[in-house]
Structure 1
Amino acid sequence: MVLDKGGKDDRSFNESAVTGFNRALKELSISKNSKFVEPKNDAQIYPFFRSFATSAKCDLIIAIGYNPSEYVPELATKYPDKKFLAVDTNLEDKNSAKNIRSITFAEHDGSFLVGAIAAMKSKTGKIGFVGGMDIPLIHRFETGYKAGAKYINSEIKITSAYVGITTDAWNNPAKAKELAHAQYNEGNDVIFQVAANSGQGVFDSAEQMNKQSKTKHYAIGVDTNQNWIKPEIILTSMVKRVDNAVYFAIKDFTNGTFTTEHTAFNLNDGGVDWAYDQYNEKFFTEAQVNEINDIKEKIINGKIIVPDYYKLDKK
């Protein structure tokens, strides 16, 4: 398995993938020589893949994230005897050798929920968004988040910023903290971070701001349930079950039921959701929890149609 930039300890997307991988190592009959690698820069990604693809003992190769997954179509064509899993991108149209399973998540639906939560909890009527790398995938989060906030408060003001345009944007907490500080100082009191390891900077910013002012500043986590990291400032997390995507793909492979198609996980199957647990229950009344879950059901039942950045006319 090849991780995305930010490493296994990003407390987010990569960490979730590693959780699924380690669960497979523990529970399934796969070689203990199975391993994951952490690229430190883009130049390392392809050599990692090539090393796995040319190994006679490596049967399933996993790409975690939008950036590593870009290498998969070429590799899959070149090594048709191998099976590939690409997480966070749809490679259905590039699966010429029919050996790729690609997995995506309905990020826009989960982001709609946390956008609604941000609007519910905001006292200033201003909320923020800090994305990692400026790519369509993260705009999908942003679009859903904005729609969810406006569903609760049509007048709410939303500020957005991105850490950068290269893969380094996933691993730059200092820059994310700077962007968050700017948004909090402009009156935004809740920020949703979708920035992998960079997102820790948003959490640090909220914590620091709360020590300096009487206004309460909050953040929303992403990918894994991050509520526990700073429970005084993290309202909730928009969870993406990357761990399950990895684990069940490996399980299917060991069972001989590995299908090579595109699969999308959503609110209905728990692939995305909002995180509610002992760390953040103090922020919500019973009525608010019921309202959030009612919105969730309306999305599942098609009574709320969440805008999808991938399908928008961007002319």
Structure 2
Amino acid sequence: MKKTKLLSTILAMVLVAGMLAACGGTPETPSSTAPAETAPSAEPAEEPADDAAPADGAFSAALVTDVGGINDQSFNQSAWEGMQRLESDKGVKVSFLESKKDADYAPNLAKVTDDAPDIVWGIGFLMKDALAAAAESNPDQRYALVDDVFEDGQYPNAIGVQFQAEQSSFLVGYIAAHKTETNHVGFLLGMESPVMDRFKYGYEAGVRYGAKELGKEIQYDFALAESFSDTAKGKAMAQKMYTDGADVIFHAAGQTGSGAIEAAKEMNKMVIGVDLDQNFLAPDNVITSALKNVGNAVYDITGRIMDGEELGGTNVTMGLAEGGVGIAPSSDKHLSAELLAQVDELQQKIIDGEIVVPYTQEDFDAFVANL
């Protein structure tokens, strides 16, 4: 009898212990179908989430910025806006990683490559060498580079994307020639390179073309900042040009150019933005912007890949005809309907090949000689 009672007691204790373990002991294993973290949209975080792995079945795209960062109010921001559109329109899993200095390019590319997204976007020609090395070391990973090209077939897993920025720069140069009241304009360049030469020669060619049409001489000042991230230097250089008599300045200098916009605002001068429609930075002073629609390129090319098009080993060129460049929608705030109509006519001549805008010194010299 005592043995029976003891056995019953032991069995009861085991049963209670099992019930307690089921209620609150070992934590539940997370479900593999839990929603993935989404990338920031309006106000991105300083750094992206570490978990960049795509949700089951979702196409994934990662972006590595240039040193200007995701909020540079220029082409990095435009690229991220294109990524956000991919997320909202096509359900793409997107992420970004910011580069603070040139030395960050290679490790940042390596970090996003470890997550094996369907495509890695590198933003800016300064990243070309690092992205080429990554493409060579990771032949199964697809890459795309904004603002430079590779030799055809050089990297079967890499795509080069270049913009005919000389075309939009020509249009804003023409606008500057028509808007200047002192017959004196300026240009602030971030850094010299074949890519940036497109802005330089295109803008001056547009100024010269407009001056010829108007029958007047226009003084042209040039300043080189040798930086895309020094706002204070950009502001000081713009102030100098304004003080010397220029009343319109075009900048192609990334965040450095934001300083030129600050100078225009403080000195009540005209300034021309770049990459994005920068009128919001100084609504009374930014009369137009030379758009480089990086976001459109990121969106369109990624979409083509999602549709099964194989673009690896090729280069894509985007100009006025492809919607890759243009002038800002806000231009009608400061430009007359008559001037806008003239710009539209000029744009069509460029698309039709009637005007070939120069982007090298040799072509620029020939263009000016034939005016």
What TM-score do the two structures reach when normalised by structure 2?
0.77
| CA RMSD across the alignment | 1.7
Given the alignment, which residue of 43, 48, 58 partners 2:103?
A: 43
Gap change, CA 1:77 and 1:281, over 3 Å in 2: same
Alpha-carbon distance in 2 for matches of 1:251, 1:178: 42
Given the alignment, which residue of 319, 323, 335 partners 1:284?
A: 335
Where do residues 98-177 of structure 1 align in structure 2 (5 Å cutoff)?
98-154=156-212, 155-164=217-226, 169-177=227-235
Query: Which amino acid counterpart does residue 294 of structure 2 have in structure 1?
Result: V
Show CA shifts across 1:220-272 (max 9, x none).
00001112221100010001110011112222232222412111011112111
Contact 1:239-1:272 at 8 Å conserved across structures: yes
In structure 2, stretches of 5+ residues that fail to align are 1-62, 366-371
Equivalent pairs, count: 298
Query: Which amino acid counterpart does residue 190 of structure 2 have in structure 1?
Result: G
Alpha-carbon distance in 1 for matches of 2:147, 2:171: 20
Choose 1 or 2 for highest CA Rg: 2
Q: Tell me the SS of whatever aligns to 1:35.
A: strand
Q: Tell me the SS of whatever aligns to 2:132.
A: helix
1:63 aligned partner = 122
1:79 aligned partner = 138
Alpha-carbon distance in 2 for matches of 1:54, 1:187: 53
Alpha-carbon distance in 1 for matches of 2:155, 2:332: 48
Structure 1 residue runs of 4 or more that deviate by more than 4 Å after TM superposition:
310-314
Alpha-carbon distance in 2 for matches of 1:288, 1:312: 27
Alpha-carbon distance in 2 for matches of 1:193, 1:7: 18
Cα offset, 1:78, TM superposition? 1.4
1:19 and 2:81 matched: yes
Contact 1:140-1:310 at 8 Å conserved across structures: no
In structure 1, stretches of 5+ residues that fail to align are 211-216
Alpha-carbon distance in 2 for matches of 1:126, 1:70: 39
1:271 and 2:324 matched: yes
Contact 1:63-1:85 at 8 Å conserved across structures: yes
Cα offset, 1:98, TM superposition? 1.0
Cα offset, 1:178, TM superposition? 0.5
Gap change, CA 1:96 and 1:136, over 3 Å in 2: closer
1:7 aligned partner = 69
Contact 2:106-2:131 at 8 Å conserved across structures: no
Alpha-carbon distance in 2 for matches of 1:183, 1:90: 34
What TM-score do the two structures reach when normalised by structure 1?
0.90
Moved more, 111-120 or 130-139: 130-139
Give the share of equivalent positions with the same residue, in percent: 34
Contact 2:148-2:160 at 8 Å conserved across structures: yes
Contact 1:220-1:234 at 8 Å conserved across structures: yes
Given the alignment, which residue of 279, 290, 294 partners 1:242?
A: 294
Structure number with the bigger relative contact order (C-alpha 8 A, sep ≥ 6) is: 1
1:294 aligned partner = 345
2:112 aligned partner = 52
Q: Tell me the SS of whatever aligns to 2:235.
A: helix
1:214 aligned partner = none
Query: Which amino acid counterpart does residue 76 of structure 2 have in structure 1?
Result: N
